[in-house]
């Protein structure tokens, strides 16, 4: 299986670069800060938590809180994982066989592509950068084969920040229903849309062969908990994934489950904090890219905490990102990280993140580098 290029790159640089301007999560918090949002009962439950094994599906109270974030899912229709990545891996290994065919949207979070392509035949479905990174539903129809089993999507999208139009999303769900296909819907950036009016329904609420993936890492800003989940009406598939999980993490960490319960019970407070930070940082990015409009084609992403602007300057965009990292200590994700084996991806775009505090320091270093570069060219 192909190396996970994004995680390799982060392994090398995430904790070494002076300015992390490509994080895909929201600024986190300390355990003390999270416990300050807890009720006395929940705080006591955390402090007295027995450090034994937990249930493979997840703590019953956690499953109830997760189910409460859906319209039509109950606690028996949720399976917890150690983050979203384990959920993706498990779902693809359970759903797909070597003679199957899958359709995966591109560009993507690499695991959404690499894991299926290690199993079966996969077709790439391009996000159209000339159509607000949307999907062509007619093209989806053309890609469906007799052995197609699954379509995989991610909205709000990483790395583009796109949110699919509601009518196209519902048409995609209807197409899956018509052909009896599984719909794997990565919804980890949901609740971080700029406009709540464009927020999509969760796939598991709409269709009994849909799997909705979510996690505490992104909108809630708590990646250190390593708590993710898949919700689905298909209990047969959930049961198969539970048995597959027995070969992976077996169960989640008990303290993390307790903290996730606290966070979900305080979700409105946490989400508003995080949305305020995103809006603050987006204003900083708007101003920055306006000052350098000759070098970058900037757009406000519709959702999430990452964007995929175009570099308009001379030379290779990968080299531009490498030079910025080496000379200014500013970490961006170069376009090669989003290389796909299924379809061409832009070679002149980079991923920038805006979910962390103190974005001003990173942008100041970025600005100084650009001014120095311009003065010597």
Q: Looking at the structure, do residues 336 and 192 belong to the same domain, yes or no?
A: no
- Give the whole-number percent of the chain exceeding pLDDT 90: 98
Residue 290: burial class (beta carbons within 10 Å; 0-12, 13-18, 19+): exposed
Rounded to an integer, the average pLDDT of 252-278 is 98
Rounded to an integer, the average pLDDT of 312-316 is 95
Does a structural domain hold residue 39? no
Cβ 233 vs Cβ 37: under 8 Å:
no
Q: How far is CA 267 from CA 270, 271, 309, in A?
A: 5, 6, 30
pLDDT of 377 over the 70 cut: no
Does a structural domain hold residue 142? yes
Which of 265, 292, 324 is a domain's end point? 265
DSSP result, 165-179: -HHHHHHHHHHHHHH
* Residue 231: per-residue pLDDT: 98
Does a structural domain hold residue 41? no
* Residue 117: per-residue pLDDT: 98
pLDDT in tens, 333-353: 999 999 999 999 999 999 999
Provide Rg for the chain, Cα atoms. Answer: 21
Which of 265, 294, 324 is a domain's end point? 265
Question: 175: pLDDT confidence band, cut at 50, 70 and 90?
Answer: very high
Q: Looking at the structure, do residues 156 and 280 belong to the same domain, yes or no?
A: no
Interacting residues of 277 by C-beta distance below 8 A, sequence separation 6+ = 26, 27, 355, 357
pLDDT in tens, 224-246: 999 999 999 999 999 999 999 99
Does a structural domain hold residue 338? yes
Cβ 104 vs Cβ 342: under 8 Å:
yes
Rounded to an integer, the average pLDDT of 72-98 is 98
Question: 256: pLDDT confidence band, cut at 50, 70 and 90?
Answer: very high
* C-alpha angle 298-304-310 in degrees, rounded to nearest 5: 20
Rounded to an integer, the average pLDDT of 115-119 is 98
* C-alpha angle 346-2-332 in degrees, rounded to nearest 5: 40
Domain containing 116 equals 50-265
* Residue 251: per-residue pLDDT: 98
Question: 106: pLDDT confidence band, cut at 50, 70 and 90?
Answer: very high
Does a structural domain hold residue 60? yes
Structure tokens at 39: 């009720």
pLDDT of 375 over the 80 cut: no
Rounded to an integer, the average pLDDT of 194-222 is 98
Interacting residues of 54 by C-beta distance below 8 A, sequence separation 6+ = 251, 252, 253, 254, 257
- What's the pTM? 0.97
Q: Is 180 left (phi over 0), alpha (psi -120 to 50) or beta?
A: left
Average pLDDT of the chain, as a whole number: 97
Question: 126: pLDDT confidence band, cut at 50, 70 and 90?
Answer: very high
* Residue 43: per-residue pLDDT: 98
DSSP result, 189-254: TTT-BSSGGGPPPPHHHH-TTEEEEEESSSTT--GGG--EEEE-S-HHHHHHHHHHHTTTTSS--H
* Residue 372: per-residue pLDDT: 87
Q: Looking at the structure, do residues 256 and 316 belong to the same domain, yes or no?
A: no
Question: 376: pLDDT confidence band, cut at 50, 70 and 90?
Answer: low
Q: Looking at the structure, do residues 196 and 275 belong to the same domain, yes or no?
A: no
Q: How many domains does the chain have?
A: 2
């Amino acid at each position: 299986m192909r190396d996970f290029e994004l995680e390799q790159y982060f392994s090398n640089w995430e904790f070494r670069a002076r300015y992390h301007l490509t994080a895909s999560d929201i600024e986190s918090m300390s355990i003390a800060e999270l416990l300050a949002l807890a009720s006395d009962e929940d705080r006591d439950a955390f402090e007295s938590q027995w450090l034994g094994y937990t249930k493979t599906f997840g703590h019953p109270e956690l499953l109830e809180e997760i189910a409460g974030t859906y319209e039509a899912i109950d606690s028996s229709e949720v399976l917890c994982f150690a983050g979203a990545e384990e959920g993706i891996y498990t779902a693809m290994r359970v759903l797909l066989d070597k003679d199957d065919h899958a359709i995966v949207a591109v560009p993507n979070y690499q695991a959404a592509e690499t894991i299926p392509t290690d199993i079966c035949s996969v077709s790439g479905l391009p996000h159209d950068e000339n159509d607000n990174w949307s999907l062509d539903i007619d093209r989806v129809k053309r890609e469906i084969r007799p052995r197609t089993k699954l379509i995989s999507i991610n909205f709000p999208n990483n790395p583009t920040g796109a949110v699919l139009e509601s009518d196209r999303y519902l048409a995609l769900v209807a197409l899956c229903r018509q052909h009896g296909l599984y719909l794997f819907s990565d919804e980890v950036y949901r609740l971080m849309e700029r406009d709540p009016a464009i927020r999509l329904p969760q796939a598991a609420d709409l269709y009994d062969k849909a799997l909705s993936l979510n996690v505490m890492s992104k909108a809630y800003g708590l990646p250190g908990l390593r708590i993710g989940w898949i919700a689905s009406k298909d209990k047969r598939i959930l049961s198969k994934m539970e048995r597959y999980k027995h070969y992976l993490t077996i169960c989640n960490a008990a303290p993390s489950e307790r903290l996730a319960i606290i966070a979900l019970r305080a979700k409105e407070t946490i989400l508003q904090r995080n949305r305020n930070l995103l809006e603050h940082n987006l204003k900083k990015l708007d101003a920055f890219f306006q000052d350098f409009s000759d070098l970058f084609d900037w757009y406000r992403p519709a959702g999430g905490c990452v964007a995929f602007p175009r570099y308009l300057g001379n030379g290779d965009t990968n080299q531009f990102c490498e030079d910025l990292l080496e000379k200014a200590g500013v970490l961006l994700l170069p376009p090669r990280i989003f290389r796909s084996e299924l379809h061409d991806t832009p070679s002149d775009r980079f991923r920038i993140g805006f979910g962390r505090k103190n974005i001003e320091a990173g942008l100041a270093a970025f600005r100084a580098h650009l001014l120095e570069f311009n003065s010597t060219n």
